[in-house]
Amino acid sequence: MELTNREAYFQTKHAIEKECLDISNNEICQLLEKANGFNSYTELTLNFDKKLANPDYFEKLKSKLFSGEPIQYILNEAPFIDYTFYVDNRVLIPRVETEELVIRTIDLLKLLKMEPKNILDMCTGSGCIAIYLKSKFKKSEVYASDISKDALDVAKKNALHFSSNIHLVQGDKLEPFLTNGQKFDVIISNPPYVQNKEDIEEKVKNHEPMNAIYSEDGTAFYEEIFKHYKEVLNEKFILAFEINYDQQDRLTELISKYFEDNINFSFVNDIYGRTRFLFIIRGYIYENINWKRHWNLCRNFKEWWRYCFSYWNSIWLRNKSNFKGKLR
């Protein structure tokens, strides 16, 4: 029996309710868009009472969704600010917190009137951070490193799609750059930092690469950079990290241990009010930055709109369990 898109939608919705699955109505719509070859939700609504173009393909997609596979892996795409990146189970799905890290870092660079010659994105995964920064700082040499060759293959695919001239480097932490003596103006990273596996949702454990999330010592990655900062950073620099909500005290100890007095650092809350970011700065005037004002990163209407669009776009397009409740 041939179904219309409306009938397929409500049949799927009733099956979800019957099985008590944590699947949103929006995810059903996304599957219908994919199965019909539509490019937007608007196109789906305009064809809601027309026949489902590819029912077998829809059933295949639905089976994956019902098994718990994240919608981003099923569709092979994930939104990141105003871009859409290719993703699969070789890389972590970008989260709204990482979008915020990038937006805040861009805002900070503008505030400091800094034009970085070179930027390093460590633990690049899909390459979303590096590619987005390259789009905003076209004159900068942007490097994206990861220990995983599989992740770098995904990053390469995205770089080619966006014609982004970033440099992909395989290696563990700082090892490739300590070897060749390369230094950077900016290092940014969303490393594996979750130390307690109980903080990671089952859905994430079952489908996303754990080596991009879990670390036996949640602060080891940061300590490695702090320990070698003189060898990999220029005289003036910015470090920008996503961190776990409970790492502030330990990271403060490590900063005191490894850095000299002529640096400034701040821990910043994310949009949910949790400590989520660490910024370390040397060589730039810093006192005019008011980190406590949440909307400080949006100093004009255009940036405010962009930030709001990113936030609500993430809520609309993503599985809510990815960024609500437990970490990551």
123, two tokens: 């633990």
Fold of the CATH domain 78-322: Rossmann fold (3.40.50)
Q: Which pLDDT value is given to residue 202?
A: 85
pLDDT 10s per residue in the chain (328 long)? Answer: 689 999 999 999 999 999 999 999 999 999 999 999 999 999 999 999 999 999 999 999 999 999 999 999 999 999 999 999 999 999 999 999 999 999 999 999 999 999 999 999 999 999 999 999 999 999 999 999 999 999 999 999 999 999 999 999 999 999 999 999 999 999 999 999 988 888 888 888 889 999 888 888 889 999 999 999 999 999 999 999 999 999 999 999 999 999 987 899 999 999 889 999 999 999 986 554 555 443 344 444 444 445 555 555 544 444 433 433 333 3
DSSP 134-197: HHH-TTSEEEEEES-HHHHHHHHHHHHHTT--PEEEE-STTHHHHHHT--EEEEEE----B--G
Q: Which pLDDT value is given to residue 188?
A: 98
CB–CB of 223/252 below 8 Å? Answer: no
CA distance 215 to 242: 14
In sequence order, what are the residues at sequence separation of 6 or more whose Cβ sits closer than 8 angstroms to the Cβ of residue 43?
Answer: 33, 36
Bridge partners of residue 149, in order along the sequence: none
Q: Which pLDDT value is given to residue 310?
A: 53
48, two tokens: 């809601």
| Whether pTM exceeds 0.95 | no
Q: Which pLDDT value is given to residue 262?
A: 85
Q: Which pLDDT value is given to residue 256?
A: 95
Nearest CA among 53, 48, 1 for reference residue 29 = 48
CA distance 284 to 269: 22
CA distance 102 to 99: 5
Bridge partners of residue 200, in order along the sequence: 327
Sheet holding 167-170, edge to edge: 167-170, 141-146, 118-122, 184-189, 233-242, 275-282, 264-269
Question: What is the four-CA torsion angle of 12, 16, 17, 18, rounded to 10 degrees?
Answer: 100
